Structure 1
Amino acid sequence: MSITQQYLLDSYRAAQHDERTPPAPGQQDWQVIREVRDYGRFRAVVSERPAHGRVRAAVARLIRGSAVRTPRPHH
């Protein structure tokens, strides 16, 4: 069953029981991404690590193929 079919089935069931319809698929994706990002930043601060630039640095390491990257000074 696809996401759209499941949504239509859930909407039909909600209408039969006079309940609110569920949100459409994909409607809250960006909110979830923001919450995951914020949670990662929170965990970094609690663990006393820098809270910014970690994902970008990890991607840069993967692209360059190096395991260790020396931090660049921020301007």
Structure 2
Amino acid sequence: MDAIQQHMLDTYRAAQLAEPAPPPPGRHDRAVLRDLYHHWLTHPPHPARPALEDGTPGPGPGHLQPVWRLRTDRRAPPSPSGA
């Protein structure tokens, strides 16, 4: 079921129960995105997620590194005996 079908079902239910119809899907998208952007601008990154050089929040702890940041040398690991 997509958003339009869900909206049609919710509108039908509201009409049957004599309740006001719900807002159409996507009606508040701009306001939500504007609020998120404002929040992102006014709140600094969390200490556990330091900002990158360009000021954007960096990945959290345990985040997988991009392929180009992985080690490039493929030496064999040391033997368990230490020899």
- Give TM-score, length-normalised by structure 1: 0.56
C-alpha distance 7-54 of structure 1, shift in aligned 2 (>3 A): farther
Cα distance in structure 2, aligned partners of 1:18 and 1:39: 37
Structure 1 residue runs of 4+, over 2 Å off? none
- What is the percent sequence identity of the aligned residues? 37
Q: CA deviation at 1:40?
A: 1.0
Give 1:28 shift: 1.0
How many residues end up aligned between the 2 structures? 51
Residue equivalent to 1:11:
11
Whichever residue aligns with residue 41 of structure 1, its letter is L
**One-letter amino acid of the structure 2 residue matched with residue 2 of structure 1:** D
Larger helix percent: 1
Q: Structure 2 stretches of 5 or more lacking a match?
A: 48-53, 57-83
Aligned to 1:2: 2
- What is the 5 A alignment of 1:45-64? 54=55
**CA RMSD after TM alignment:** 2.6
How far 1:22 moved relative to its partner? 0.8
Residues 16-53 of structure 1 deviation map (CA, whole Å, 9 limit, x = unaligned): 111111110111110010010111122129x8xxxxx8
Larger Rg: 2
| Partner-residue secondary structure (3-state), 2:18 | coil
Matched letter for residue 10 of structure 2: D
Cα distance in 2 for partners of 1:28, 1:44 equals: 25
